């Protein structure tokens, strides 16, 4: 009986695309994590600390640099009424993505030296931020297919071309240490973007509509702000540590544990990514949306709880992968395991807020979380070192999940979607 139920569940997950999306995330978002594991093994702990700071900065800046189009594209494509509207909308999102990403890169060249990082970190950031252009363009393209619910196609494309990028990064790290890692990472993203444009070259209608651009930009600004604050709440702890401790080795220890946690959360990211278009379709029907969201949340918790337990028990195996120099990361990993379940819940709740057109709610929650996280790090790190940062991570993730829940309750009780859901005027509605 149990075996039959398991086969039925796996078949359903395969059909709707969750297993495909998980594989996709492993080879795209997970590509960066897997690469960093290899880099941690190949480079010194100090150099790996630099890698973690650069990757954290890229993670925080990616979505706002593209004006939020990597997320907006899923919502607007899922809501589009016909193929021509989708093709025109796709063109507008790519246009906004490319132009704004390039503009942000120019601005960052002027302001990054003012951030107070070490000279080595600053030099790498000035080069690596130019990755925002190919990264945003390729991710906007991938998420176009997500909006169409072509999850299997998304997974296949991601796996094929991300493998090539992975090889470039590892070969670069072996051949040129930290500089080789940077060039390999950069070239891998350019290759991925070029291949994605080749695939979707016939899915675009070049038709400039200023009203559509304005509508997309308005929504994108809200989404970009929400995701920026979310990324700061999730990733800025590495940047705080770099500035407070000025010790790349300590950042490397903390970063190694953080990579493992992020890797485990790919499961929750996959579930949230697949759920997004389904949530968006039911945004105007609170009862239907609540039903599917509740079921998804319960099943997600049922998966993530044993994952956290197994990771806690087998944390010492981390040194078998990265080497004995990362022994201090074991205690950090065990502390951070307590944040896995609330982090997973927060990811799905944030997807819920975005699906109902309320990225502002997510932004408010994460603004509070940024203050909590920064305050805890400032309070705990001087006396406890990086262990204090790990405790701050756990408390912050729990606070974010609780605040997201309260925000959704407030929205459902006070707005009831009466004129409060963000709308996008598609070209066919405004002609």
Residue pair 404/346 in contact (Cβ under 8 Å)? The answer is: yes
Q: Tokens in use for 418?
A: 């009466």
Residue 223 pLDDT class (50, 70, 90 cuts): confident
pLDDT at 125 over 80: yes
Q: Which of 19, 51, 25, 23 is nearest to 38 (CA)?
A: 51
Residue pair 279/352 in contact (Cβ under 8 Å)? The answer is: yes
C-alpha 343, offset from chain centre: 12
Residue 139 pLDDT class (50, 70, 90 cuts): confident
Instruction: Give the model's pLDDT for residue 32.
Output: 63
**Cα–Cα distance measured from residue 182 to residue 128, given in angstroms and rounded to the nearest whole number:** 7
Lowest mean pLDDT among 40-49, 254-263, 389-398: 40-49
According to DSSP, residue 326 is labeled G
Position with higher pLDDT, 27 vs 292: 292
The residue with tokens 């995701």 is 227
CA-only gyration radius of the chain, Å: 21
Instruction: Give the model's pLDDT for residue 417.
Output: 46
**% of the chain exceeding 70 in pLDDT:** 85
**Cα–Cα distance measured from residue 266 to residue 257, given in angstroms and rounded to the nearest whole number:** 15
Q: Tokens in use for 274?
A: 């697949």
| DSSP percent split of the chain into helix, strand, coil, nearest 5 | 85, 0, 15
Lowest mean pLDDT among 10-14, 246-250, 382-386, 406-410: 10-14
Q: Which of 335, 318, 334, 337 is nearest to 326 (CA)?
A: 318
Q: Which of 229, 90, 223 is nearest to 146 (CA)?
A: 90
| Burial of 40 per CB tally in 10 Å (0-12, 13-18, 19+) | buried
Q: Which of 86, 71, 206 is nearest to 139 (CA)?
A: 71
Q: Cα angle at 112 between 106 and 116, to 5 degrees?
A: 175
Residue 138: CB atoms within 10 Å: 27
Lowest mean pLDDT among 52-56, 372-376, 412-416: 412-416
| Three-state secondary structure string covering 115-154 | CCCCHHHHHHHHHHHHHHHHHHHHHHHHHHHHHCCCHHHH
3 state DSSP class of 230: helix
For residue range 161-192, what is the model confidence (pLDDT) as tens digits?
777 777 887 888 788 778 888 888 898 888 88
pLDDT at 406 over 70: yes
Instruction: Give the model's pLDDT for residue 425.
Output: 38
Helix 340-355 × helix 210-245 angle, to 10°: 160
Residue pair 261/397 in contact (Cβ under 8 Å)? The answer is: no
pLDDT at 305 over 70: yes
**Which residues are CB-neighbours of 243 under 8 A, at least 6 positions away?**
116, 117
**Phi, psi dihedrals of residue 61, rounded to the nearest 5°:** -90, -10
Q: Torsion over CA of 197, 14, 309 and 40, rounded to 10 degrees?
A: -30
Instruction: Give the model's pLDDT for residue 419.
Output: 41
3 state DSSP class of 188: helix
Instruction: Give the model's pLDDT for residue 338.
Output: 95
pTM of the model: 0.71
Summarize the confidence of residues 406-415 as an average pLDDT: 82
Instruction: Give the model's pLDDT for residue 55.
Output: 85
For residue range 15-26, what is the model confidence (pLDDT) as tens digits?
555 555 556 555
CA atoms within 13 Å, Cβ hemisphere of 317? 6
pLDDT at 233 over 70: yes
Residue 424 pLDDT class (50, 70, 90 cuts): very low
C-alpha 309, offset from chain centre: 24
Mean of the per-residue pLDDT values for the chain?
A: 81
**Cα–Cα distance measured from residue 276 to residue 247, given in angstroms and rounded to the nearest whole number:** 40
For residue range 238-288, what is the model confidence (pLDDT) as tens digits?
888 887 877 778 888 998 898 889 888 888 887 887 787 778 778 778 888
Instruction: Give the model's pLDDT for residue 366.
Output: 84
């Amino acid at each position: 009986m149990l075996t039959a139920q398991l086969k039925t569940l796996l078949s359903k997950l395969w059909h709707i695309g969750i297993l495909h999306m998980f594989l996709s995330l492993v080879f795209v978002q997970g590509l960066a994590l897997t690469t960093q594991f290899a880099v941690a093994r190949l480079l010194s702990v100090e150099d790996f600390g630099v890698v973690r700071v650069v990757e954290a900065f890229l993670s925080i800046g990616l979505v706002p640099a593209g004006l939020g189009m990597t997320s907006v594209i899923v919502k607007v494509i899922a809501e589009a009424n016909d193929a021509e509207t989708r093709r025109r909308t796709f063109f507008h999102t790519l246009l906004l993505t490319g132009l704004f990403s390039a503009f942000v890169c120019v601005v960052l060249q002027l302001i990054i030296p003012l951030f107070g990082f070490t000279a080595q970190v600053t030099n790498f950031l000035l080069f690596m931020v130019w990755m925002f252009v190919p990264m945003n363009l390729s991710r906007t393209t991938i998420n176009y297919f997500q909006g169409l619910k072509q999850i299997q196609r998304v997974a296949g494309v991601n796996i094929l071309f991300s493998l090539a990028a992975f090889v470039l990064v590892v070969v670069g790290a072996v051949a040129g240490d930290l500089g080789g890692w940077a060039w390999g990472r950069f070239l891998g993203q350019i290759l991925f973007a070029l291949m994605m444009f080749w695939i979707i070259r016939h899915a675009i209608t070049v038709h400039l509509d200023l009203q559509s651009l304005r509508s997309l930009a308005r929504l994108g600004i809200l989404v970009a702000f929400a995701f920026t604050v979310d990324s700061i709440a999730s990733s800025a702890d590495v940047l705080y540590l770099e500035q407070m401790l000025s010790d790349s080795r300590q950042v490397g220890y903390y970063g190694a544990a953080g990579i493992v946690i992020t890797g485990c959360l790919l499961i929750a990211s996959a579930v949230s990514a697949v759920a997004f278009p389904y949530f968006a379709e039911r945004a105007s029907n609170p009862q239907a949306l609540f039903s599917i969201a509740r079921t998804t949340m319960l099943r997600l918790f049922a998966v993530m709880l044993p994952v956290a337990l197994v990771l806690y028990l087998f944390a010492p195996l981390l040194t078998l992968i990265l080497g004995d120099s990362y022994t201090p990361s074991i205690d950090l990993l065990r502390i951070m395991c307590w944040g896995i379940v609330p982090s997973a819940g927060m990811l799905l709740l944030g997807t819920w807020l975005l699906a109902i057109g309320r990225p502002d709610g997510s932004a408010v929650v994460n603004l509070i979380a940024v203050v909590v996280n920064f305050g805890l790090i400032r309070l705990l790190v001087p006396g406890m070192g990086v262990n204090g940062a790990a405790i701050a991570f756990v408390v912050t993730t729990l606070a974010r999940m609780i605040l997201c829940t309260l925000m959704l309750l407030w929205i459902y009780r006070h707005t009831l979607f009466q004129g409060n859901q963000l709308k996008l005027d598609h070209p066919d509605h405004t002609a």
